Homo-oligomer: A and B are copies of this chain.
């Protein structure tokens, strides 16, 4: 096994991951099209989610093969670990997109309602986070990845606001409760997608810099014994 073939395998893994990431990003977009009323997008979300699931298995197998047949070290080893984790997050982005599409189908059965909740803004932010995390992966750019982490709070805040607003709407218009609750879950799914983008960005930083930035790792001081 020559060194060139090892580098080729790593590059194949990165390409496959980026392809899957592109499909995942597109699947969020399709789910949001369904939410905006084009229910024909739901079937496409379902098909993409199945493809992402299959890609997940293939990427894991590629990573396993490289670990088994080569002895990757340092930055290459970190890349493979990051790839395995990002792969898992992409699969969950597919799940959340599917959840949004199913909620959109349910919403379409209710009488049309309008709520003062900024789902488009949340969607835009979450998708931008996913896109930036993937650009950081493609460009090996830890700085760009770090900028994703800073965006997560805005999405969390929009999700909190959406919950408050929708609960107020239900109090005033109980007949709109079904739609409002489904919209609450869509908001929650977008917030989860932003969390997955954050995870992916952290994995890119770990790959490139070799430092673990999860859970504010650098400044933690936590008691040893768990609570019972």
Name A's B-contacting residues (CB within 8 A): 23, 26-27, 30, 43-45, 47-48, 50-51, 53-54, 56-57, 60-61, 63-64, 67-68, 71-74, 77-78, 81, 84-85, 88, 163, 167, 170-171, 174-175, 177-178, 181, 184-185, 188, 212, 214-215, 217, 220, 222-224, 226-228
| Contact sample, A vs B, 28 pairs, CB 8 Å cutoff | A23-B226, A26-B226, A43-B227, A48-B226, A48-B227, A51-B223, A53-B214, A54-B220, A56-B215, A57-B212, A60-B81, A63-B81, A67-B72, A67-B77, A71-B71, A84-B84, A167-B177, A170-B170, A170-B174, A170-B181, A171-B175, A171-B177, A174-B174, A174-B177, A177-B177, A181-B184, A185-B188, A188-B188
A73 to B23, CA, bound (A): 32
Asked whether A51 lies within 8 Å of B171 as measured between CB atoms, the reply is: no
Cross-chain contact A78 with B51 (CB below 8 angstroms): no
A63 to B78, CA, bound (A): 11
Is the contact region of chain A dominated by helix, strand, or loop, or is it mixed?
helix
Which B residue's beta carbon lies closest to that of A106? B163
- Residue numbers in B under 8 Å from A175 (CB-CB): 171
Cα-based distance from A181 to B26 in the complex (angstroms): 30
Which residue, of A43, A212, A226, has the highest number of chain B Cβ atoms within 10 A?
Answer: A226
